[in-house]
Amino acid sequence: MLQAIRNHTTGLLARLLFVLLIASFAIWGIADIIRSGFGQVTVARIGSKSIHLSEFRQSLELEISRLQASSPQPISIQILKNQNALGYVTDMLLTRQIMAAYTQHAGILPDPASVALTIVQEPILRDANGQFDPSKLTSVLSRLRLTEQDYADQVGLNLAVTRLNQAVGSLLQLPDSLVRTIAATSFQQRKIEYVRLPISAVKAAAPTEAEMQQFYQQNPNFFLERDYRAISMIKINSQAVASQLPVSEEAIAAAYQQQLASFKVPEQRTVVQLLFADAAKAKQAYEDLKAQKSPSAEVAPKIAQKIAQDHGGKVNDLGRVSAQDLLPQLADAAFKDGVGVRAPIESPMGWVVLSVQSIAPPRTQELKEVRQQLRDGIAARDAARMISELQTRIEDTLAGGGSLEEVAKLSAQPIVRLAKVDRWGKDDRSQDIANFPNTDRVRDAIYSTTVGQITNLTLDDGTFLVMRVDQEIPTSTRPYAKVRDEIAQLLTKQKLQTAADTKLQSLLTQARAGSTLNQLASAEGGILNSSNFFTQQDNPLELPPELVMGLFNAANQELLTGQDQKSLWLVRLTDIREFTPDDQPSPTYKQLTEQLTTSLQKDVTDALQQDIRKTLGVTINDAALINM
């Protein structure tokens, strides 16, 4: 707790990002806990339950794909490694699994209605208009390879974990006296006068050839070339093969007849849903809506929107739905009678009024509607069979000592040769390599294979990869001629930094000796300025962070210096204003209270999690996670 309080002034943004990341695990953090793993390496054991590396990695990749959907920057396991964030993410994922296991152990699972409500409110299952989209749920179930019941069980576990954490947190409140003490430091204000000189005021001589040669000789590790592998590979992709396979109309027609039952579309109805907090408002809206003349399908949602707003409710235009797309009690009402308005219904979401706009009777999709789907399915099946047979022949060829060239002839696929591939799957310019399957498995295979050895992998996208390492290119020191410009830039920056430090120290010495800041500003061609009061969180002058930290630890009238990429700063602290919350606390004071309370709740929740780990008997294979 004390550590959280000490850190809060410098780590609020980071903490906010962590909270957002934690929230993203609310539904998806334990995607594979209910499935058995197929790997042999165990990354964690929770009681008698083992979590294998393969299932944990798959769960992690699914979570990353979810985060990627809302991130403008690329996210991958390797990027998380490079940013030193993979450990945090894997720890969060394991924590969710452990807490989920505890809810089962303690028997605190939620009721089915709460689970259903949570599912329909999940943002990832909503369309562009914010409405629940059944097709998105179907897509998620397919991607996660879950049944509807598995998915509901999983959501229930996560909901129980969330409620457990909320129950712990709701019991904790910080004393106002403690918040006031921390606020006195956090929202204390400072006022300064300052001289700001452009960085161009600092001059330094260019490094000599002798200095650059000496630096190169004394720092060889600065200029090491990465080690590389030269490889040759053959890629056989099932999707590419399937797209080229011919499929006869007779085969498509036969498949249509065989799968006819799956093309039956149940009765669907166009429904507008009005949601209210209490029965009285729902009843008033129902009467108003019932009194309307039968509007067109385009106008009906607008009328419902206005009536809902008039009575403090919300509207969801569900569009065309089938009975299984709705909660049972809503489905019963929506599909019982014909077009019209349904009386208020109590549901887990509140009181609901349904307006049924139109009815589409049950039907069977025609062949022309599903022709492409059938064609793709037949081609994918045939391609998988062909590749499976080809894969067996290739493996037999390799087992008999066959070469990569023989494999190319057998598969009728070209050999792709890559002169330099590094440990991150990049070329010697640190660029992505076109058509290279840059995955952890492929990179690991390249760097664990000896020169001349051929290995083969079946990748997640259906690609069968046959690969040979042709050459190991070891680490070496780049020639001086290639790094001369880099050394010149580096030494120039060092010289400029030394000159800037000397300049600031000279100004500080003169100011302490009695020169006024105005005199120093005039001598340097600058201007003396002063600021208004500001807090440590509010930095209107964009002072260097180290200088801000120094100012809020300095005594009144103390002199300080600072530097950023554009300016040199000579600053005098001229006034200090203490923070005193009044009877109606300011928004910043309220925000601080909430942030500190969240920190305390997190500390207590962390302690609970540690106790749960002991109760369940949890062990974690850190080495497996580090090498993942």
Q: Which long-range CB contacts under 8 A does 445-454 form with residues at least 24 apart?
A: 446/229, 446/231, 446/421, 447/229, 447/423, 454/398, 454/403, 454/404, 454/407
Q: What span, in angstroms and rounded, lies between the C-alpha atoms of 578 and 608? A: 38
pLDDT of residue 136: 77
pLDDT, mean of each 10-residue run, the chain (628 residues): 32 32 35 34 72 68 60 65 64 71 72 79 75 76 67 76 69 71 79 93 92 92 87 87 84 90 89 87 87 66 81 83 84 89 84 89 91 87 84 89 92 92 88 89 90 88 88 90 92 93 94 94 91 87 92 94 93 90 63 75 74 76 60
Phi and psi for 46 in degrees, rounded to 5? -115, 100
Residue 486: count of CB within 10 angstroms of its CB:
14
Q: With residue 111 as reference, give the H or E element that holds it.
A: none
Q: What is the sign of the dihedral through the CA atoms of 414, 415, 420 and 421? A: positive
Contact indicator for 99, 164 with CB cutoff of 8 Å: yes
Q: What φ, ψ does residue 537 adopt, rounded to 5°?
A: -80, -25
d(CA 553, CA 257): 80
Which domains does the chain carry?
A: 2-175+592-626 (1.10.4030), 188-220+481-577 (3.10.50.40), 227-247+377-474 (3.10.50), 267-361 (3.10.50.40)
pTM of the model: 0.43
Residue 199 · residue 567 · CB < 8 Å: yes
Helices (H), 513-621: 517-523, 545-551, 587-616
One-letter amino acid identity for 141?
Answer: L
| Three-state DSSP class for residue 189 | strand
CA R_g for the chain = 33
Q: Cα–Cα distance between 557 and 555 in angstroms, integer?
A: 6
**pLDDT score, position 627:** 55
Q: Which two tokens stand for residue 22?
A: 């934690």
For position 493, what pLDDT does the model report?
A: 92
Task: Output the pLDDT for position 574.
Answer: 96
DSSP one-letter string for 614-625: HHHTEEE-HHHH
Q: Cβ distance 23 to 606 under 8 Å?
A: no
Q: Which residues contact 262 (CB under 8 A, 6 or more apart)?
A: none
For residue 485, give both structure tokens.
């410009």
H/E segment holding residue 210: helix 209-218
Measure the CA–CA gap between 354 and 345, rounded to whole angstroms: 9
List the structure tokens of 622.
């850190």
> DSSP string spanning 347-392?
ETTEEEEEEEEEEE--EE--HHHHHHHHHHHHHHHHHHHHHHHHHH
Residues 626, 53 contacting (CB under 8 angstroms): no
DSSP string, 260-317: GGGGEEPPEEEEEEEEESSHHHHHHHHHHHHTS----TTTHHHHHHHHHHHTT-EEEE
Biggest alpha carbon–alpha carbon distance for the chain: 99
